[in-house]
Amino acid sequence: MNSLSGRFLILTAIFVMLAEIMIFLPSVARFREDFLLTRLERAQIASLALLASEDISTELEEELLSNAGVFNVVMRRDEARQLMLASPMPSPIVQTFDLRDATALGLIRDAMARLVNPEPEVIRVIGAPSRMAGLLIEVTMETRTLRDAMLDYGLRILILSAVISIITAVLLFLAVRIFLVRPIKRVVEYMKSYALAPEDARGVIMPSSSITELREAEETLRLMQTQLTQALRQKERLAQLGGAVAKVSHDLRNILTSAQLFTDRIEMSEDPAVKRMAPKLVNSITRAVYLCESTLAYGKAEEPAPSLGEVCLEDIIEDVFDSERLSVDGADVSFSSDVPTGFTLSADHEQLYRVIANLVRNARQAIVNTGKPGEISIQAAQTDADWIITIMDTGPGLPKRAQDHLFQPFQGGATKGGSGLGLTISQELIRGHGGHLTLAATGPEGTRFELALPKGARA
Is 50 exceeded by the pLDDT of residue 98? Answer: yes
- Contact between residue 70 and residue 35 where contact means Cβ atoms under 8 Å apart: no
Q: What is the DSSP letter of 454?
A: E
Identify the band that residue 59 occupies on the pLDDT scale cut at 50, 70 and 90.
confident
Q: Cα separation of 442 and 444, whole Å?
A: 7
Q: Which of 211, 237, 263 marks a domain boundary?
A: 237
Which CATH number is 318's domain given? Answer: 3.30.565.10
Residue 258 has pLDDT above 70, yes or no: no
On whether residue 376 sits in a domain, the answer given is yes
Residue 245 belongs to a domain: no
Task: Provide the number of structural domains found in the chain.
Answer: 3
> Which residue stretches of 87-211 are H helix?
104-116, 143-176, 182-196
The pLDDT score that the predictor gives to residue 264 is 62
Q: Point out the domain boundary residue: 170, 189, 216.
A: 170
Q: How confident is the model at residue 301 (pLDDT cuts 50, 70, 90)?
A: very low
pLDDT band at 347 (very low <50, low <70, confident <90, very high): very high
Percent of the chain with pLDDT over 90: 19
In a 3-state reduction of DSSP, which class is residue 236? helix
pLDDT band at 335; cut points 50, 70, 90: very high
Query: Do 339 and 415 share a domain, yes or no?
Result: yes
Q: Which domain holds residue 367?
A: 306-454
Residue 361 and residue 440 in one domain: yes
Residue 384 lies in a domain: yes
Same domain, 21 and 143: yes
269 lies in some domain:
no
Cβ(339)–Cβ(380) below 8 Å = yes
Same-domain check for residues 52 and 146: yes
Which pairing describes strands 122-127 and 93-98: parallel, antiparallel, or unpaired?
parallel
Task: Examine the domain organization and report whether 142 and 94 are in the same domain.
Answer: yes
Per-residue pLDDT at 355: 92
Q: Hey, which bits of 318-455 come out as E strands? A: 333-338, 344-347, 374-382, 386-393, 436-443, 446-454
Assigned domain for 242 exists:
no
Read off the pLDDT of residues 379-426 as tens digits, 9 standing for 90 and up: 999 999 999 999 999 989 888 888 777 777 655 555 554 445 678 888
| pLDDT digit string, tens, across residues 161-171 | 778 877 877 88
- Same domain as 166, residue 205: no
**pLDDT of residue 336 exceeding 80:** yes
pLDDT tens column, 115-135 = 888 888 999 999 888 776 667
The last residue of a domain, from among 182, 212, 237: 237
Q: Is residue 425 located within the same domain as residue 316? A: yes
Q: Please check whether residues 164 and 17 belong to one and the same domain.
A: yes
> In this structure, are 84 and 137 located in the same domain?
yes
Whether residues 207 and 162 fall in one domain: no
Residues 229 and 355 in one domain: no
In a domain, 93, yes or no: yes
Q: Cβ(378)–Cβ(339) under 8 Å? A: yes
The pLDDT of residue 458 is 41
- 132 and 91 in one domain? yes
Out of 23-32, 73-82, 316-325, least confident range: 73-82
Please indicate, yes or no, whether the overall pTM of this predicted structure exceeds 0.75: no
pLDDT tens per residue, range 436-451: 999 999 988 899 999 9
Quote the pLDDT of residue 230: 77
Rounded to the nearest integer, the mean pLDDT of the chain is 80
For residue 60, being part of any structural domain is answered with: yes
